[in-house]
Structure 1
């Protein structure tokens, strides 16, 4: 369940951060359409759940100087503990509620300071579910806490709006869209404590790794994830892919490069510049830009594909096309696109290039709902995939080249879903 978290804390209680929050939520729309916003009232904490459009359109009638919000793809994950007056947002749906477990673990007099003490103290052993959880935000007692779990594959960034506000978010783009400045990435095992007196980052830092699909697909290209500028990272991979195409003799046999919108465009640009082949705009989105990979049903995916991929006539007719995508899950997007290129646009050849190794396993952190049956690479070899997709060839980035590029950029990603059942990489 891909999601995004956001918190805003204004140090002056007379601030109303609702307008800032609206822009921040819009900047997280790449992660889902369902929103939960939690904010303080005089003697309690309240949470509102709605679509992003509803939240942004109607706003909130209350004035408040602090807020935590979560953006979700299919189902929200939050909890209000009435006894302690703490609201909690989680970045994924747990089997049981980890905050309730933590409250029971500490005792009946739990407050937010007790929870902070547990999460930040490596000498204290919290419940196993809290260790394994990836991202948590808490609000209560005039305090906001943003925590990145010790095994977290989900990123967390901290920024500020001058000296007036502190902002924590899953990626840096929402901070900048709100007019703020990103300051630092929060590593796994650490938390951010915000109140009227202090902004403090502390806790036992661990060696947790960021999800590779965050870097390849999920994060906005204008974000920085764990110190890595996403756009430059993706363009660099495109250049490496171009070198592989040259080795295979495909580089000279194409006429035009196109990218599956919109996440594949930086890769396509890197390939185009390295090969000296033109990059064309072939697809135009209609309405809301949907993430087809994150849709749960086949019908939703099909609708998302068609909404974001209405073709421009006359761009590729009679040409040999290099079609670039960031990753492949079920192959439904690629198959639909290739059929359209051949049947509607008269393309002569379609050569597919993928900016990642094949996806072969389910996510161990449940960040995605893919099953083994959903993953085409887990059930089909590349040769058979070429026939299924009706492509002329398919090129994946070699795992050794991929890892070399990661290392050169200082990236330490989680590869768990790219490791094959044979125990090797891709």
Structure 2
């Protein structure tokens, strides 16, 4: 998973480094272990910076330019080859060769690749290029900053951070080329819509709009579906921040069970699904999920989370809730079971690491210390989203492409 952004000002007097920086910070929920930017300055000079730090820790003050791109995720992007710099969201077997080919013939370079991916790129001639994969797995949106700047970003949230305006989502298989005088759109590959189900459930921010869906409203519907499928007698409903909060709101509205804010945060937000090691996961849990005793003491709780990968996060969370006096803890998961790895770059690991792929529900409840645990059904997911044009490979083992 990754966050991409591209900016191009229509007047070269602009220095966009701060716009690029803060726009990238607005995407770090999509991945934060590595980040980088490239800026185009007068004379066709592209300067890049890459670092194994979150976007908010990048020091971009010495870089200047009137156009540029940014990346946040798990790989070392952008890649710069001569007069072209590219950042990619997706998995490519040989990204350096792709970037070289892209410089010669963008359309053929895209058509020659087998795996779905999206990218943003800046050329020394002052062109901003963006492509969205033909399956629609990796989102990209177009926007602007008044009449002064064009913006391409993985999510509209990045535009909102810098005061930009969202215009539209890019179509699957669409290539957009922007310069100071023109915007050109080319349908390079035919769309085969298989939107990533994890985008809806977990990846996108709750204030975002992805694949023609308002994410907050969609997650309310998921909470309502959980209430229909698993009505549980309890004293309070609590959602795990931030992703699952709308699930809890929807469940509470549907059942009438009171909603409580069960946790407060310490420090910067950490997405434990993206953490690379167990220590970071545990520390991340403590920073992200510090329970509020008065919200849980002596109560029968329904705890709602967006997904379950290894079970580490929920096990630690349930332990802390019990320690603070929770009488019962019933867990609801706002997605079907994750039982297969993702070959497209989403942080769903090998089957041997996925708790739902290896244990029955009763054993999982024992392992994490819960009274019960239930997952949203696949039909419930389809109903909440409103269509079936989804990649559900991590849930079923059936993928839209061979790999």
TM-score w.r.t. the length of structure 2 is 0.92
Matching residue within 36, 53, 57 for 1:54: 57
Aligned match of 2:395: 418
Matching residue within 327, 341, 344 for 2:307: 327
- Tell me how far apart the structure 1 counterparts of residues 105 and 140 of structure 2 sit (CA, whole Å): 19
1:241 CA displacement: 0.9
Aligned match of 1:45: 46
Matching residue within 200, 204, 208 for 1:219: 204
- Tell me how far apart the structure 2 counterparts of residues 266 and 181 of structure 1 sit (CA, whole Å): 25
Aligned match of 2:281: 301
Residue 103 in structure 1 maps to residue 106 in structure 2: no
Contact 1:132 1:150 in 2 (8 A): no
Give runs of ≥4 in structure 1 deviating > 3 Å: 101-104
Name the SS for the 1:335 alignment partner.
helix
When residues 186 and 237 of structure 1 are mapped into structure 2, their CA distance, relative to the original with a 3 A threshold, is: same
Aligned match of 1:424: none
Contact 2:365 2:372 in 1 (8 A): yes
CA RMSD of aligned residues (A): 1.9
1:369 CA displacement: 5.4
1:183 CA displacement: 0.9
1:37 CA displacement: 0.2
Aligned match of 1:337: 317
Structure 2 alignment gaps of length 5 or more? 399-403
Per mean C-alpha deviation after superposition, the further-off stretch among 162-171 and 148-157 is 148-157
When residues 78 and 16 of structure 1 are mapped into structure 2, their CA distance, relative to the original with a 3 A threshold, is: closer
Aligned match of 2:356: 377
When residues 369 and 314 of structure 1 are mapped into structure 2, their CA distance, relative to the original with a 3 A threshold, is: closer
Aligned match of 1:18: 17
Aligned match of 1:210: 195
Matching residue within 228, 232, 240 for 1:243: 228
Residue 348 in structure 1 maps to residue 351 in structure 2: no
Name the SS for the 1:239 alignment partner.
helix
1:271-294 C-alpha deviation (Å, 9 max, x unpaired):
111111111111111101100111
Aligned match of 1:135: 118
TM-score w.r.t. the length of structure 1 is 0.87
Contact 1:88 1:136 in 2 (8 A): yes
When residues 333 and 35 of structure 1 are mapped into structure 2, their CA distance, relative to the original with a 3 A threshold, is: same
1:320-366 C-alpha deviation (Å, 9 max, x unpaired):
00000011101111111111111x21111111111110001000213
Contact 2:92 2:115 in 1 (8 A): no
Contact 2:39 2:67 in 1 (8 A): yes
The number of residues matched between the two structures is 392
Contact 1:131 1:151 in 2 (8 A): no
Structure 1 alignment gaps of length 5 or more? 105-109, 121-125, 422-426
Name the SS for the 1:417 alignment partner.
helix
When residues 93 and 77 of structure 1 are mapped into structure 2, their CA distance, relative to the original with a 3 A threshold, is: farther
Aligned match of 2:401: none
- Tell me how far apart the structure 2 counterparts of residues 144 and 119 of structure 1 sit (CA, whole Å): 16
Residue 77 in structure 1 maps to residue 67 in structure 2: no
Contact 2:8 2:128 in 1 (8 A): yes
Residue 265 in structure 1 maps to residue 258 in structure 2: no
1:221 CA displacement: 0.6
